[in-house]
Structure 1
Amino acid sequence: MEWLTCAKPVVLLHAFPFSPEMWSLQVTELEGRYSVFAPAMPGFGGREPGAASLEAWAEELAETLDNLGFDEAVFVGLSMGGYLAFRIWDLFPERVAGLVLADTRAQPDDGAGKARRAELAARVRAEGSRVLVEDFVPAVLGQTTLNSGDEERKAVRAWVERWVSEADPEGVARALEALAARPDSRPLLGEIEVPTLVLVGEEDTLTPPADARAIAAAVPDAEFLIVPEAGHMANLENPEAFNTALLGFLEKVYGV
């Protein structure tokens, strides 16, 4: 996805182990009003795997923004994208006009979480990304999406399974290592001085509403909204509610 030709930049940071394609329903809503950039992280969306470091990804993204001629942007991060948004704020706060933190958490992995990621990275390298499908797909989708016979919800299930199974194994493994190594972002929360919206799916069990409430409570003047009938992939499971919240926030930040 490319920058669209207008001002007011918005950067969409995708979740693990997806690609910028997950943002297609948001790009459709935003295009023409904002300059939308949905970059692929190293190892995803056809990119070669890079360093297993969110800090390295943030530095690369800042360089890309320089090349595109944008000094600052609103960063919208979902799950892994939220972890990356925290690193961007930590390293380049002057680049951040606003933050949307969706279905993410500020605390780092504990020892057991790090061990699970290491084990999964080894399995993916040995067996391929298809091993993620059985456990990961039910975990990232809410019960409404998993159990609905609605054609749109069925399409979401199919999209998610395809994206997960087709992800580059080495890219997935390095991302797991980067996520395991991420620092504690909770000390940053009280220092966030830009408009912030915290979104979470009502049925998210990976980064549940309690985690999102904790972020919103710690960030000065943050807005907090629950996306109904959605799990961890709230932007896909209830795009109408997600887009309404996102557009309302961007109008407040940019004045249009």
Structure 2
Amino acid sequence: MKLALERSGNGAPLVFLHAFPLSRKMWEPQRVLSKNFQFIAVDFPGFGESLLETRSASMEQMARDVITTLDAADLKDPAIFIGLSMGGYVLLQLAKLFPERLRGLAMVSTRASADSIEARARRYQNIEIAEKEGAAALGEKMLPSLLGETTMKSRPAVVTTVRAIAAKQTAAAVSAALRGMAERPDMTETLSQIKCPVFVASGREDTVIKTSEMETMAKALPHAEFAAIDQVGHLLNLERPDVFNDLFLHFLKRRLL
């Protein structure tokens, strides 16, 4: 299916894939990159302005939807894809299914392994919360895991932004994505097959995916650079956007331009 897409700027295309349970609006602090690049952001099925056509949104189908959407927008040249958390799961499917479309990658706050039994159970518990209490209630419950301790204490504007984006999503979209993430396959073997340059970034206060786990993943990638950012958690692009943007821009200039 075709997803909602927005684009601005000119130059090499940067395609931003959002985290759960948010929308493309989470990438607003990265729009400044449109001064030198083409900024492109999509909403996954049911999130933001995209429609939802299925009860379960698999990571593979999301990847296919991304390519369908880019093709429809006449964006068929290899692009640099940036994915955070759920967006990173979709990136790995893109790498497996459409390697010819990848000029470079940024894998942020994400992992290649499948859910553990415990993690899968938590996703289904969250489906119950979303369906009984709404997406806003689930977003509120998730805030301390989405944002680092420093942000929760001293960056109220970021907390407000994340809360507002999460509250705008629907229970149906949230539940479909949770099912897709719970059932996603292990993609560890795909890492060694990724031949393009990869920027791997982690927040040192991330309690969802530890920095040590992301560093191990970076070592499994043939052409990766790893960065750990202090005083941020899972949504590091929102928590310290200037630091994230500078690190990513330097990576782009060194490795892809």
Q: Supply the RMSD in Å over aligned alpha carbons.
A: 1.4
Superposed CA offset, 1:134-156 (max 9, x none): 430011111111112xxxx1100
Distance apart, 1:5 and its partner CA: 4.6
SS at match of 1:132: helix
Q: Does 1:14 align with 2:9?
A: no
Secondary structure at the aligned position of 2:10 is classed as coil
Is the 2:48–2:168 contact (alpha carbons within 8 Å) kept by the matching residues of 1? no
Q: Distance in 1 between matches of 2:18 and 2:42?
A: 8
SS in structure 1 of the partner of residue 83 of structure 2: strand
1:115 aligns to 2:121 (yes or no): yes
- Give runs of aligned pairs for residues 117-196 of structure 1, distance below 5 A: 117-148=123-154, 153-196=155-198
TM-score (norm 1): 0.93
| Unpaired segments ≥5 residues, structure 2 | none
How many residue pairs end up in the alignment? 250
After TM superposition, the runs of 4+ consecutive aligned structure 1 residues lying more than 6 A away are none
Return 203-212 or 160-169, whichever deviates more: 160-169
Aligned residue among 8, 30, 35 for 2:33: 30
Identity %: 38
Q: 1:242 to 1:55 in 2, by over 3 A?
A: same
Q: Deviations over 1:146-205 (max 9, x none)?
A: 112xxxx11001111122222211000000001111111111111111001100011111
Q: 1:5 to 1:203 in 2, by over 3 A?
A: closer
Cα distance in 2, alignment partners of residues 63 and 46 from structure 1: 16
Provide, for residues 61-117 of structure 1, a one-character-per-residue CA deviation record: whole Å limited to 9, x for no partner: 111222223221011001111111001111100000011000111111012221221
Q: What TM-score results when the alignment is normalised by the length of structure 2?
A: 0.93
Q: In structure 1, what is the equivalent of residue 100 of structure 2?
A: 94
Q: Aligned equivalents of 2:253 and 2:173: distance in 1? A: 35
SS in 1 for 2:6: coil
Q: Distance in 1 between matches of 2:221 and 2:104?
A: 12
The one of 197, 200, 204 aligned to 1:198? 200
Return the alpha-carbon distance in structure 2 between the equivalents of residues 169 and 88 of structure 1: 26
Indicate which of 194, 211, 214 corresponds to 1:212: 214
Name whichever of 160-169 and 191-200 sits farther off: 160-169
1 CA distance for matches of 2:86 and 2:185? Answer: 13
For residue 230 of structure 1, what is the amino acid of its counterpart? V
Which of 213, 227, 230 is equivalent to 2:229?
227
Is 1:53 aligned with 2:58?
Answer: yes
